[in-house]
A and B are shown apart, each in its own frame.
Chain A
Amino acid sequence: MSATDSFRVYLDHAATTPVRSEVSERVFDVMNRFFGNASSIYTEGQEAKRLLEESRDQVASVFNANGSEIYFTSGGTESDNWAIKGVALRNIGKKNHIITSAIEHHAVLHTCKSLEKLGFRITYLPVDPEGLVQPADLESALDEDTCLVSIMTANNEIGTIQPIKKLAEIARSHGVLFHTDAVQAAGVIPLDVRDLGVDLMSVSGHKIYAPKGVGALYIRKGVRLDNLFDGGAQEYNKRAGTENLPYIAGLAKALTLANTEMAETSERITVIRDRLIRSVLSEIPHVRLNGHPTQRLPGNANFSFEFIEGESLLLLLDHYGFSCSSGSACTSGSLDPSHVLLAIGLPHEIAHGSLRISIGRDNTEKDVLRIVPVLGKIAERLRAMSPLYDDYTKCLGSNETPCERCGQQNH
C-alpha cells in the first residue's frame, strides 16, 4: 500500500466529471469566434443565434424532443428549481400539493421545503430497501390538489434507476404533471421523453464531461409554468439572461458524444462496476452493497463498511491516490448521515460508513480494481482502532443476541 505523488484514480464521476477535450475545444472555439449577443439583429448576433438554435436541436434530438421544448439553464439546480417552483407558482391557490420522493437531490428537496413555507403540502414518498419508489405509493398519494410529481430518474448516491415510465403514466392518468431530475441519468442511460411520458426533465452539463454552469430543462410543448428568472426575452420569453453560448454549444457537443457512445461506454463500465462489487464484497468482511443490484447506473457502486466512519475512509483513500465520496455526516457538513441511506433503512452507524465509487469513461478496469486491496487494508486499519469493532469481536465470544453492547444482530 504505497502511494506515489502522481498516482491518482478519479472515482467520483457522480460529483463531477472532467471536461472532454472535444468539448473544451468546442467551448473555446465558440468563445473565440462567436461573441455576438444572440438577441442582436446584425450579423454577429445572428451567427450566435444560429449556433444557439443548432445546439438546442442537438440536445433535443438526444432526448427525442423538439428543439422548441429545450431551454438552457445554468445547471441541474436551476432546472429543478424552475420546474418545481414554476409549476407550483402557476397553480398557487388552486392546487397546492406536490409529490416527490425521500431520496431526491437537495435541489429538489430544498425547493419543496421552501414551497412548504408558501403553503404547499409536500408528500415525500418512501423507497424500498433497494431505493425504488413503489408505483402503488404514488397512486395512493395523488389527490385532486396535486399539481406536480417530481421523481428523479436515477439516484446520485446509490445509483438506483426508478421506473419513470410507469410513474409518469400514473401521474398522467390523474392529469398531474410529471418532472424528473435526470441529472445523473442524462447521457448515461437512454432517455426518450416521448416514450417515458415525462412533462419536465432536468439535465446538467458537468456530469457528462461538459463544463459546470450549464444545463437544460425539457418542457413538453403545452406545459405551462411560471418563469424563475424575469428580464429579457431570451429562451422564448421563458428564461431571461443573455445565453452562455460557448457552454451551451459545449453541452450540446457533450450530450451528442455521450449519446453516440452510450451503448459501448455503458457496457464497458457496467462490466468494471460488477467486477468491483464482486471483489469488494468477497474480499473485505463486513461490507454491504447499497442500492439495487441491477437497476442501477452503470458506473455506481455504493458500499457500507461496518465499524468505520466514512470521512476517515475517504482521507486514507485520498492519501493512496483514490478520489471517492461518502454519505457520512462528516462529509455532508451536517450531523446526520445521508438522507438517501437513511431512507433505504440503513441504521445511522452503518450510513456513516458509506463509500460511493462512481466510475467514468476515463477509468480502466485495472485502475478501478486497484482500489480493492487498498480498501481492504484501510478497513483493517480503521477497524483496529474502532471501539465498535472491539465490542463486536468481544461479543463474538459471548452468546448475547441481539447484542446490547454493539447493537449488532446475528453474530
Chain B
Amino acid sequence: MLYSDKVMDHFMNPRNVGEITDATATGTVGNAKCGDIMKVYLKIENDRILDAKFKTFGCGSAIATSSMATEMIIGKTLDEALSLTNKAVAEALDGLPPIKMHCSLLAEQAVKAALKEYFENNGGIPEDKQEYFEVLQEDEHSV
C-alpha cells in the first residue's frame, strides 16, 4: 500500500471538511495547475482556535494532511497553532511517501495563511511571530 493506515483513514473519513460561514479568517494556498489547492477556515476567539474546517482539491495525501492539520489545531492557542510544522503533520499520519511530503507543506501553509490574515486584520503580525510565516514564501514543490 502506498499510504499508511492512518493516511487512508484520514483520506477515507476526513475530519473537519466544509466551511465556517462566520469564519474569523481563511487561508487558500496551492493552485489547480499543480493539482492541489487547500482552503482553511478558522474560528478564533480570545487567541484560541475554536474551530477549523477545510476544502481541498488534491491527492490522497493532500486530503489526509488537510484533515490531520485541522485536527491538530482545533482547541489550540494561536501560539501553539503557529508552531505546527508540516513534519509534525506527516508524523501524526505515521509518515508520508517521500514524493508526497510537499502535500504536508500545503496544509501547514494553509493554516499559516489563515493566521496571517487574522493578524493582519487585528493590528498586524507581531515582530516576534514573523519567522513563522516565512514558510509561506517556500515553494511547496521544492520540499
Contacts and interface: CB of A to CB of B under 8 A. Distances in A.
Interface string B91-125: 00000000110000000000000000000000000
A385 B57 CA distance: 7
Contacts of A316: 12
A335 B34 contact: yes
A250 interface: no
Given A385-B55, A385-B63, A387-B56, A309 B33 contact: no
Interface string B36-74: 111100000000000000111111101100000000000
Nearest to B33: A348
B62 A309 contact: yes
Main secondary structure, interface of A, reads helix
B37 A388 contact: yes
Interface stretch (A220-228, A270-278, A326-334): A326-334
A352 interface: yes
Contacts, number: 71
B90 to A, nearest CB: 16
B12 A352 contact: no
A329 B57 contact: no
A315 B10 CA distance: 12
Contacts of A12: none
Main secondary structure, interface of B, reads mixed
B38 A387 contact: yes
A307 interface: yes
A330 B28 CA distance: 20
B88 interface: no
A304 B141 CA distance: 24
Given A335-B141, A352-B32, A387-B39, A311 B59 contact: yes
B34 A388 contact: no
B17 interface: yes
B126 interface: no
Contacts of A333: 99
A308 interface: yes
Given A309-B36, A330-B35, A352-B35, A390 B11 contact: no
A340 to B, nearest CB: 16
Closest 4 CB pairs of A and B: A349-B32, A330-B59, A311-B59, A352-B35
Given A309-B57, A335-B35, 20 more contacts: A309-B35, A309-B36, A309-B58, A310-B59, A312-B58, A312-B60, A328-B35, A328-B59, A335-B34, A348-B34, A348-B35, A349-B32, A349-B33, A385-B55, A385-B63, A386-B55, A387-B37, A388-B57, A389-B57, A390-B55
